[in-house]
Amino acid sequence: MFPVKNTNKLMTKLVPIVVSLIIGFIGGVVVSAYRTPSLVAQIPANQQAGVSKEEAARHIRHLEESVQKDSKDVDSWTKLAHAYFEMGAFDKAINAYTKILEIKPDDSDAYTDLGVMYRRNKQPEKAINSFKKAIELDQNNVHAQFNVGIVLFHDLGNKEEAIKAWEKVAALQPNYTLSTGQTIQQLVDSVKQ
């Protein structure tokens, strides 16, 4: 048994770490989702205030029609994948990202986005595989590498491997900063304690 005092100290250290990791992951998803224009940005400016579910559904139908007309249109598939993500339709987003990768199999960013969708869909092993494929295609893809650590730490409970993944991020980009303002090295140091 741990004395209550030591347990409280441990909890005091772990809570900010866990919160930082969650915020960092969400920040990564947001950055990933906004690499192409969001659903709101794709709707004319005079219609952006309060995009209704009906408008979003109409926009998605339009994108679905676009990809039916031209199944090789990566831009439309990407917009559709992001729109599905924003609507919480993760299975459909996964299918759209998979289609993007059939057309453009060397798209590291699409593999990263696919990994995020697999994680959101509670498929951590597939998420890891997608992130690793993204890294294989672009060894400098720090977002994919960071997300490997997120999945290992939070979903698979593998602290040691998560630390290794984040140390790779620190080696690639020492100033990599989480949305909390914490650097990747500070995160690594915190998790090691």
Name the 3-class secondary structure at 57: helix
| Banded pLDDT at 29 (limits 50, 70, 90) | very low
And the tokens for 123? Answer: 């498929």
- pLDDT of the residue at 135: 98
- pLDDT beyond 50 at 47: no
pLDDT band at 42 (very low <50, low <70, confident <90, very high): very low
User: What distance, in Å, lies between the first and last C-alpha atoms of the chain?
Assistant: 19
d(CA 142, CA 171): 10
Residue that wins the pLDDT comparison between 11 and 153: 153
- Contact 159/153 with Cβ under 8 angstroms? yes
On the question of pLDDT at 44 being above 70, the answer is no
pLDDT digits (tens, 9 = 90+) for 84-123: 998 899 999 999 999 999 999 999 999 999 999 999 999 9
**Three-state DSSP class for 89?**
coil
Phi-psi sector, 149: left (phi>0), alpha (psi -120 to 50), beta: alpha
Q: Which domains does the chain carry?
A: 1-33+106-193 (1.25.40.10), 37-104 (1.25.40.10)
Q: Point out the least confidently predicted range of 36-50, 53-67, 116-130.
A: 36-50
pLDDT grade, residue 31 (50/70/90)?
very low
Q: What is the pLDDT of residue 56?
A: 85
Q: 179, 115, 176: which is closest to 151 by C-alpha?
A: 115
Q: Which residue pairs from 176-179 have beta carbons closer than 8 angstroms and sit at least 24 positions apart in sequence?
A: 176/142, 176/146, 178/20, 178/23, 178/24, 178/27, 179/23, 179/24, 179/26, 179/27
Higher pLDDT, 38 or 180: 180
For residue 69, the model assigns a pLDDT of 97
Element (H, E) at 155: none
Buried b (16+ CB within 10 A) or exposed e, 104-135: eeebbbbbbbbbbbbbeeebbebbbebbebbb
Instruction: Supply 111's token pair.
Output: 């593999």
